[in-house]
Chain A
Amino acid sequence: MYKEIEFRVNGNKVLYSGNPLRRLVDVLREELGLIGVKEGCGEGECGACSIIKDGKLVTSCIIPVGACIGSEILTIEGIRDTEKGKCIVDAFRDGGAVQCGFCIPGMVMAAYALLQSNPTPTEHDVRVAISGNICRCTGYDLIVESIMLAASRGGELWQ
């Protein structure tokens, strides 16, 4: 039986010994201060709290921290200053993808997960990749175009 939950967040070791049912989003935001992770619906429907766990996009509001033993977690804070992260963030800025901004960390993580596995996505691929991320401002088109921009600008970066 595991008594402690050891995992890595943005490359840093985390040791957690509280209730394993605590939601990952609460551990990230409240214990680790990673408030770039947003919470919208709290039931895995809106995608605002999306993070990457062991290379896969997941919603951190419905993942208990006890499911993270040995996991590598990446949040917006962990990719923002990497070359790939900057490529997406710059494309979002240049493409006018951001209005209120609340959904954007989740959108960026979804875009990152997509481009990691599919460096040359079609528009349809992009729409599927962000189909779990709700934005109430933009109508999505500028976000989709910005992700396409990140793919074309990044080029070899995503290969």
Chain B
Amino acid sequence: MAVANYIPETLDEALLLRKAEGAIPLAGGTDIMVQNKRGIGLDPILDRPVMIIAGLKELKGITLHEDGSVEIGALTTAGEIASSLVVPWHVRMAASGMGAVALRNSATIGGNIGNASPKGDLPQPLILLDAEVVLISFGGERRMLLDDFIKGSKKTDLRSDELIKSVIIPPHDFTYSYYRKIGMRKANAISKLSLSAAAVVKDGLVVDFRASSGAAGPKVIRSREAESMIIRRSIEDIPEIVPDFLDAWDRAISPHAMPKYRRNTTARMLTRFLEAIVNEEDHGIIE
């Protein structure tokens, strides 16, 4: 029957519970409470103990480090991220498009990553930016690329004695940035498809180019193979590379439902972004 549920007072207590019982961490509750709801007046029941870590101050807040990287504590909410002045644009865009006001006041970055839904809003821009996760246990901390941490739909590399401590986003200075989330409504919409892209152009040369696709496969997809086709190429060469680039990106994504729509729309978004680079449009955000 029902297992015990806990409210640790400190990070140490939470780590002890992770180690001793593999307790499931509940941050904002916006996934766990919905996935396990049983109806009016009934408490959610899970097959393992749950620990409510919403109050742990050690895991909250946004820090701008001296090297320009931004560290976001796992329990920082989408609302706090959306209104931050230091969080990179792509991530703020994704955070401000999550659910609606009340959800953004509860949902956390750690929860969004830990839940590892391919439709999750935050992993997509974070993976674009080569963000790393910091994982903590009694044994210490380890750091890895978020792209490696999320292994597939609902699968992560989190050990049963670990918690997500924070996310670190390295500094970037993009010439062009693009973000688009396609949902059924303006608010309270789960992503049907999303795309982030960014490029650095110097003296007619594409120095950096990257993109990430959300809701287009079992996890967020970045194709280094496709990206490398554009990087270190002159912008005059890009038009002739575009068809091969789009083919490579198309091979990398694997949308399960409405694949034709998702593939076509992904290609259209990438085409739009590349067109802005080729046309040397005003630097900044591409729409």
Is A44 touching B50 in the complex (CB atoms < 8 A)? no
Is B5 touching A21 in the complex (CB atoms < 8 A)? yes
Query: How would residues 34 to 73 of chain A score, 1 for a CB under 8 Å from any chain B CB and 0 otherwise?
Result: 0000010011110100100100111101111011011000
- Closest-by-CB residue of B relative to A54 is B105
Is B188 touching A132 in the complex (CB atoms < 8 A)? yes
| Residues of A contacting B258 in the complex (Cβ-Cβ under 8 angstroms) | none
CB of B52 within 8 Å of the partner chain? yes
Is A132 touching B103 in the complex (CB atoms < 8 A)? yes
- Closest-by-CB residue of B relative to A45 is B188
Complexed CA–CA distance, A69 and B51 (Å): 13
Query: How would residues 122 to 142 of chain A score, 1 for a CB under 8 Å from any chain B CB and 0 otherwise?
Result: 000000110111000000000
CB of B254 within 8 Å of the partner chain? no
Complexed CA–CA distance, A113 and B100 (Å): 13
- Closest-by-CB residue of B relative to A69 is B55
**8 A Cβ contacts from B30-51 to A:** 30, 33-34, 37, 39-41, 43-44, 46, 50
**8 A Cβ contacts from A1-54 to B:** 1-2, 5, 19-23, 26, 30, 39, 42-45, 47, 50, 53
**Cβ contact of B101, chosen from A1, A5, A45, A128, cutoff 8 A:** A128
In the assembled complex, 17 residue pairs joining A and B whose CB atoms fall closer than 8 Å, in A order, are A1-B6, A1-B13, A20-B5, A21-B52, A42-B40, A43-B33, A44-B34, A44-B103, A56-B79, A59-B102, A62-B106, A67-B28, A110-B101, A131-B187, A132-B103, A132-B187, A132-B188
